[in-house]
A and B are shown apart, each in its own frame.
Chain A
Amino acid sequence: MSLLNRTAGALYRRPRLRLSLLLTAPLLWLAVLYLGSLSVLFVSAFWTTDSFTSEVVKVWSTDNFHELFTVPVYRQVILRSIGVALAVTVLCAVIAFPLAFYTARVAKPRRRPLLVVAILTPLWASYLVKVYAWRLILSQGGLADWMLKPFGLSGPGFGLPATVLTLTYLWLPYMVLPIHTALEQLPANLLDASADLGARAGRTFRSVVLPMVLPSVAAGSIFTFSLSLGDYITVQIVGGKTQLIGNLVYSNIELNLPMAAALGTVPVVVIVVYLLAMRRTGALSSL
């Protein structure tokens, strides 16, 4: 007991000691496991592979990055992946905004928690189950075809549009939640003030609501963008013959680890650039 008290007292008097004891484990995790593996990834991208045995040869070379920029297919796949991630992000934002506006400001306050739970429910289902469900919906004669038939249309089938659609479905909650929170926390009297100064609803939305919720949209977009950029399973299931950067990493991981590492650094770099861009909008503080 007294030993415990003495220790507690000693810790109380030495805030630095307390802090370092508290932070040692997480910092170690961050530095060694997280940043360590990232840097190993980056370093191994500069190695090469024995073409016959697929063994990694630890000889310094920038060939992989050179290939990355000169082989057209890599550039094409990288651009396609970024395009998919952006399309998913834009779609998510466009769908999430009215949805969140309803759950945060229009719906009866009593029902709001329920609606939020409803939006989160898909997150409880297994990723694969959801994607395979979309495979069924989008397959020939599936739900999408059946619903579009009366209009003389057919579903998108498997391919790039199906991938964007499915990823949008998968990551939508990550966009709805921050926007919902921002809209919920938006002070009501700011809307009153805008109306009071003569602004109609549309103007209030453009000039007050949108700019104030934008950081949260950006925060949500960090999720949707990076999750989409890293995904390679959805595209395998509903993407038809589409290849994204994750598929290239996957197909290279056994045979050409350094190339896979070089490909793997691309999304890391893209996301860092994206984060830096989003930081300007104040998104990081709304996470």
Chain B
Amino acid sequence: MEGIAIQLRDLRKSFGDTTAVAGVDLEIKDGEFFSMLGPSGSGKTTVLRMIAGFESPTGGTVELAGQDVTGLAPFERDVHTVFQDYALFPHMTVEANVAYGLKVRGVPKTERLARARTALAEVRLEGYGTRRPAQLSGGQRQRVALARALVGRPRVLLLDEPLGALDLKLREQMQVELKALQREVGITFVFVTHDQEEALTMSDRIAVFDQGRIQQVGTPAEVYERPATPFVASFVGTSNLLEGESAERIVGTPGTYSIRPEKIRVLKDSAEPDDPDHESPDHESPDRDTPDQESPDHESAAGTVAEVVYLGDSTRFLVDLDAGGRLTALQQNLETSAEDVAAYRGSRVRLQWHRRHTVHVPDPR
């Protein structure tokens, strides 16, 4: 279980003058669900294609299970891919698609058909074998692609944004299924996505990519709670950074700090001067808990609510800090309603969070 499935050493790729991958070192363990997260153009897909063998690296090596495969063709690697738009062969039936890899490797007909059926059953597509890809829905096609890649039981399965083309409901359902399937078959999954939520939900570990480099590798909790760079902090989860002067005034020491919005409580500012024209909207705070006034474990900052975004289950407050800068706070709508929170717009508030949620983000510069 603890063997190394994939080892990348100083992997580089340039297309003409543009550098897509600028030196990536990475180790992926056997049986891991590993995600490569990043915005488009960050180099994650190119890395995946170099692992599969579709692109040959400009520099560096790719090792699969300890063997250097850098110079090998795709068909010589024990790696299968699920493509972004599935890449199902339109002229073949679903069954023939799934059995293709086995056929190529000379598995006898009866055996490969039996295995194809089993693989289709694994992705809950029994009885769809004789259809053509064009007769299936997007989610079904996605599962066929999965079955096709899994039926040969490769050492590593590469998934290139496989859920990107599905609608939200289906995507969430597939995330769960995919994770379950991975646990069941025990194959290493390398999952490329630009959706941080998807990466956080499914992965054992995540590599965050930006501009052809890995910014951080870690478990979802590590990446989320302890972003290693400002980029990770802003790309994973909502951006909430305290920088420069305002950071010094609130935290006490200069630097860049990240505070996740859901950790911040929004309190009605008692220090607000009574204004007859500007009547206090509500006697209740959004959070009914009585605030711990100036507890030593907490940091706080005063500001004015610039915008209130009602999200149904929660509300997002955008607060302009008196100390400069802006923070976002997310509050569960436990008791409050849409009208209640709307009244907060323009009013004075005090933001409060536990000191341990102030995460210092080292600046790579």
Q: Give chain A's interface residues, CB within 8 Å of chain B.
A: 187, 189-190, 192-200, 203, 207-208, 211-212
Contact = CB atoms under 8 A, between A and B. Distances in A.
A207 B99 CA distance: 13
17 contacts: A187-B87, A189-B87, A193-B81, A193-B89, A194-B89, A194-B100, A194-B104, A196-B74, A197-B75, A197-B100, A197-B148, A198-B104, A199-B100, A203-B104, A208-B89, A212-B89, A212-B91
A192 B74 contact: yes
A198 B105 contact: yes
Contacts of A211: 91
A210 to B, nearest CB: 10
A217 to B, nearest CB: 13
A158 B75 CA distance: 50
B141 interface: no
A193 B104 contact: no
A226 to B, nearest CB: 26
B107 to A, nearest CB: 11
Interface in B85-120: 85, 87-91, 100-101, 104-105
Nearest to B80: A196
Interface string B52-70: 1110000000000000000
Interface residues of B, number: 24
Interface of B: 52-54, 73-75, 79-81, 83-85, 87-91, 100-101, 104-105, 148-149, 152
Main secondary structure of the interface of B (DSSP, over half): loop
A192 B87 contact: yes
Given A189-B85, A190-B87, A195 B101 contact: no
Contacts of A192: 52, 54, 74, 81, 83, 87
Given A197-B101, A200-B73, 17 more contacts: A187-B87, A190-B89, A192-B52, A192-B54, A192-B87, A194-B100, A196-B75, A196-B80, A196-B149, A197-B100, A197-B104, A198-B101, A198-B104, A198-B105, A203-B104, A211-B91, A212-B89
Given A192-B54, A192-B81, A199 B87 contact: no
A198 B81 contact: no
B66 to A, nearest CB: 21
Contacts of B80: 196-197
Contact of A197 (B54, B84, B90, B152): B152
A196 B79 CA distance: 7
A194 B89 CA distance: 9
Contacts of A194: 89, 100, 104
A196 B81 contact: yes
A246 B318 CA distance: 83
Contacts of B88: 193
